[in-house]
Structure 1
Amino acid sequence: MTSRLGGVGMTLAYERRVVARDLTVAVPDRSFTVVIGPNACGKSTLLRALARTLRPTAGTVLLDGRDIHTMRSREVARTLGLLPQSSVAPEGITVADLVARGRYPHQGLLRQWSTEDERVVAESMAATGVTELAARPVDELSGGQRQRVWIAMALAQQTSLLLLDEPTTYLDVAHQIEVLDLCARLHEEQGRTLVAVLHDLHHAARWATHLIAMRDGRVVAQGDPREVVTAALVEEVFGLPCRIVEDPETGTPLVVPRARRGRQSGPVSAG
């Protein structure tokens, strides 16, 4: 397995509160890697460390074999894009203007806005299906539309690595599927390496090509979802007794929670 992005021996903390110790992970190149685990297990903290927004108190984050914290911000931004958990657009900004902000890492004193930038912005909006929304203010859009716009902005950075922190949060199930299908297309058709934090086990098992399962700040298992998602793993990580069946649509693992004891399996009489 080759990996352009990963962390070695990391201790991750917020001030004095340590979230993870001696954490080592490697993101396979050209994978759609999904990080799963219960609340407060360190998923988003790991993603922030990989994205260079949280510096490990020990250990190293490596990007293309280099300590990411020795690299210039603009250099990192040309390689690695991040979609944070809660993205807030400036008031009144249009879709086209927000997506255009993804081109900022490519600007400089000697390089201003160009036809190449226009082309990339247009292609990013087309890839995410927001071209018809270009003139609309972002704050007037639905949750699903806004999420696609943020992904378009990340695409406009033209990074080969894209990190997404809970990209389906606050979306209804139809928009969740829409966003994850879009991520899958970016991975499959454009060869991008994606890393996403997700809460939904079904979504993770269906869309991921590589799964990292965490609990209490440590990696419990990682690998192909078909090998990682077992009844024993789900109970260990989430404390959920279950059985695993095959998803009839995709053949991927489907988690079926065990029924409560004594629950009636047949219809309840009304009289």
Structure 2
Amino acid sequence: MSNKVWFVTGASKGLGLTLTKRLLTEGYKVAATSRTADALIKAVGTSDNFLPLEVTLTDENSVQKGITDTLKKFGTIDVIVNNAGYGQFGTLEELSDAEVRRNFDINVFGSLNVIRQVMPFLREQRSGRIFNISSIGGLFGNFPGWGSYCATKFAVVGFTEALAAEGKEYGISATVVYPGYFRTEFLSSESLALPAKQVDAYHEAKISLAAHQNEISGNQAGDPEKASALLIKIASEPDQPLHLILGQDAYNLAEVKIDALKKDMEQMKAAAVATAF
């Protein structure tokens, strides 16, 4: 497996950086993207097994060049990790159209651009592993002030399920990853955008923001090193799961969501199924 080539987006910090460093330490070849190649070189260093790529994920031509450069350097791509993304805070009333669209451009369309460009090669070689990093917020969206972010992560879940079905006949697997709180820079000012418009009426949302910035940040229970090790392990196994809930906190929230869904389904079942002709 150490001969495998990984392509990791958003690799200059957070889980992407931790994963990239661990892969290189274990002897894998890694092509990693960031907005600037200098940021990658500064964070990771240089080696024959490492290809730092300056890629604008919202620019399909830039993404295509990144894939092409990886194939020129290493001859193949075996595992793709769509990790790049950022948090957008703000109630739905506060957020502008431009702010929400920008969030979707990176968190959703950036990953779709990578998938669109790499799939022809993976289909031709009839193999490939894809990890799309969502969030537990892509399954459980009951967080005031996080509607845009959760919506982008719900979208990642939807297209990953479709991708897994589409790639199956070509030996391509896809996993959607739902991390809980991991101790990365995700809640820092560089990775968390705030709305330009402020509506003071939303007290619960403001309490949530303060808790994330002042209490949760720096105290997350999840270890990104262990998360990276698990992704590498899964990539080496014959059967890749479609859904990967990551962290005890994520499991707790997933169970809350499943229980709530079951309760609502049972409550309305008789009336809902009676709507047929």
TM surpasses 0.5: no
More strand by share: 1
TM-score range, shorter chain: under 0.3
Flag the structure with higher helix content.
Answer: 2
**Greater RCO, 1 or 2 (C-alpha within 8 Å, sep 6+):** 1
**Normalised TM-score (structure 1):** 0.27
Q: Which has the larger radius of gyration?
A: 1
